[in-house]
């Protein structure tokens, strides 16, 4: 995956990211060039360019209104771009969109099923729309429904729980063996056990060489599943890379949370920490708690921080999470307007 960025953000991330130095295929299956979408003069997507490699899982993250859903709708031929183009499996989004539809699968954010039909009949209906061989269709339907723990159910799908409908939608998007799968919030509404089931299944799909485009509000999901991540805000891509690269490049560095027994311990600890050069920021919290960001990693922690703290209650050390980085870049949470 390679992405063109704007101005200083482009330089920061492009310098540390080498497109060809990864374990995935060098074949480009999605190439987006200057894609734009405007609504009544408002640019929802503002000239983004990106490349996705065959066989990778690429996550597109952004707060509500960032432009990611509009981007996905264009790439899945639902919306026509206002400007720019994309090559999807070597077919132009502008000139050849009907040739794109057969080899993409889409699991939309809102479940789209025929509630009067059983789970099996829903899947068979979609497979027949794609002209699948009946014997292969029935075998694959059985296999996929079993993988999602919804096989053998004879009742109409209107009786299903929200989580079961979500898993059924995923099966329907996969029945025709798409080369590219678009997943919009695939685990939304699932309980922890079902979420883990879906995550494990997605990991298995990756092993088949399928390319997967994921949008999610779950930072842990993006961290666990993604090969590469792009973050959108205000219609533009503002950062990209692997999760590890983003954490490494984060200017916040390491984070240490310290709690103290008393106000006196708290004041003494705060005074000592303010004298350490490698400390980037100290945030004062309630209940005698400090959140400290610093550079130098474990060396700074062992040689400079812990030696200055005479007394404390608890210490918790961690790297920046993907959510920390996202909030720093956008100033908003994933679900914020």
- Residue 2, φ and ψ in degrees, nearest 5: -135, 145
Beta-carbon contacts of residue 250 (< 8 Å; ≥ 6 apart) = 320, 324, 325, 328
Answering whether pTM is above 0.85, one says: no
Ordered by start, the domain boundaries in the chain are 2-248, 253-319
Decide yes or no: CATH 3.40.50.300 for domain 2-248.
yes
Task: Read off the pLDDT band of 329 (50, 70, 90).
Answer: confident
Percentage of the chain beyond pLDDT 70 is 89
What is the rounded CA–CA span in Å between residue 136 and residue 45? 40
Output the average pLDDT for the chain.
Answer: 87
Beta-carbon contacts of residue 267 (< 8 Å; ≥ 6 apart) = none
CATH code for the part of the protein at 253-319: 3.30.70.920
Q: Is 204 left (phi over 0), alpha (psi -120 to 50) or beta?
A: alpha
Is residue 9 predicted with pLDDT exceeding 50? no
Is residue 22 predicted with pLDDT exceeding 80? no
pLDDT tens sequence across 250-293: 656 678 999 999 999 999 999 999 999 889 899 999 999 999 98
pLDDT tens sequence across 62-119: 888 899 999 999 999 999 999 999 999 999 999 999 999 999 999 998 899 999 999 9
Predicted pLDDT at 31: 97
Task: Read off the pLDDT band of 334 (50, 70, 90).
Answer: low
Residue positions counted in the chain: 337
Is residue 20 predicted with pLDDT exceeding 70? no
Predicted pLDDT at 16: 30
């Amino acid at each position: 995956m390679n992405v063109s960025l704007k101005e200083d953000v482009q330089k920061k991330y492009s310098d540390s990211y080498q497109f060809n130095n990864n374990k995935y295929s060098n074949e480009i299956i999605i190439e987006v060039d200057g894609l734009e979408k405007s609504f009544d003069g408002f640019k929802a997507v503002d000239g983004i360019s990106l490349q996705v490699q065959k066989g990778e899982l690429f996550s597109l993250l952004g707060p509500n209104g960032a432009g990611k859903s509009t981007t996905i709708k264009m790439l899945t031929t639902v919306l026509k771009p206002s400007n720019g183009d994309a090559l999807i499996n070597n077919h132009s989004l502008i000139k050849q969109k009907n040739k794109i539809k057969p080899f993409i699968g889409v699991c939309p954010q809102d479940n789209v099923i025929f509630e009067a039909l059983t789970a099996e009949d829903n899947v068979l209906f979609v497979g027949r729309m794609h002209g699948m061989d009946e014997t292969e269709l029935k075998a694959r339907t059985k296999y996929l429904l079993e993988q999602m723990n919804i096989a053998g159910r004879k009742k109409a799908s209107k009786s299903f729980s929200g989580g079961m409908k979500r898993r059924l939608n995923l099966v329907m998007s996969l029945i025709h063996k798409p080369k590219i799968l678009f997943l919009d919030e695939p685990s939304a509404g699932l309980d922890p056990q079902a979420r883990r089931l879906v995550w494990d299944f997605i990991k298995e799909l990756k092993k088949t060489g399928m390319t997967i485009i994921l949008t999610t509000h779950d930072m842990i999901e993006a961290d666990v599943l993604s090969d590469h991540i792009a973050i959108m805000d205000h219609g533009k891509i503002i950062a990209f890379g692997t999760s590890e690269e983003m954490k490494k490049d984060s200017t916040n560095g390491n984070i240490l949370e310290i709690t103290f027994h008393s106000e006196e311990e708290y004041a003494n600890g705060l005074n000592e920490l303010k004298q350490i050069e490698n400390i980037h920021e100290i945030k004062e919290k309630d209940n005698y708690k400090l959140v400290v960001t610093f550079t130098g990693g474990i060396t700074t922690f062992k040689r400079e921080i812990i030696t200055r703290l005479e007394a404390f209650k608890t210490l918790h050390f961690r790297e920046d999470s993907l959510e920390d980085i996202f909030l720093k870049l956008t100033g908003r949470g994933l679900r914020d307007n």
